[in-house]
Amino acid sequence: KTGQIGKPRFHSRKYLKKSYTGKSIIKTAGKRYLKIPKLGYVKTSKTGVLQNTKVKRYTVLLEPTGKYYLSLQVEISEPEKYSLTGKRVGIDVGVADLAILSNGLKYPSFNSSYFEKKAKIWQKKYSRRRHLVKLLVLQNKNKRVLCPRSLESFTNWQKAQKSKAKYQAKAANQRRDYLHKLTTHLVKQYDVIAIEDLKTKNLQKNHHLAK
């Protein structure tokens, strides 16, 4: 917002993940802005959640999709506890079904086949385009061209990489949302939850259902 500071750049040679963490103080400026050290003012709609809290650390992250995320570690008072229901339940983790409760209720496995198919298509396009670009770079190097092009100068494979990452992120986000809603529902309904001692190696033997 200030006009003097651009997007953050990451130069770490140790970590492939493009992120950095800081301990400086983050301040809320009005209803829609956060003041972050070295980045200036960032517009957000989550300032109301930060009332009566203390920000301890912050992390700026760049996803492969090209989107930036700000994660905050915040110190708050004790959260409200759920009311007791006096119910107990046992959970059998399955393969065809995600979970089967002792009272007969079944939770189906999450289906993200649409976005996974799209991600596979773009994965093939990305691999093919990147391979062709590498061949062109090698040709320029062998022919000793005066101005050889680098791998980053080709944008077609980079577009395919972002499209592939976008569909992979959609499938992962939907899966995470499904699991969070399921576990929250179980915790609200039951006081005691017993889960079987599961051996994941036995489940992985069936390649069709391992995922």
pLDDT tens, residue by residue, 153-192: 999 999 999 999 999 999 999 999 999 999 999 999 999 9
Q: What pLDDT score was predicted for residue 209? A: 63
Q: Which of 18, 44, 21 is nearest to 31 (CA)?
A: 44
| Prediction pTM value | 0.78
Residue 114 counted as domain residue: yes
Residue 29 counted as domain residue: yes
Residue 43 counted as domain residue: yes
Q: Which of 69, 11, 17, 16 is nearest to 39 (CA)?
A: 69
Alpha-carbon span 133 to 129, nearest angstrom: 6
| DSSP annotation of 109 | P
Q: With pLDDT > 90 as the criterion, what percentage of the chain qualifies? A: 38
Tally of structural domains, the chain: 2
Residue 172 counted as domain residue: yes
Higher pLDDT, 129 or 8: 129
Residue 80 counted as domain residue: no
Residue 6 counted as domain residue: no
- Range of the structural domain that residue 60 is part of: 19-75
Q: Are residues 127 and 71 in the same domain?
A: no
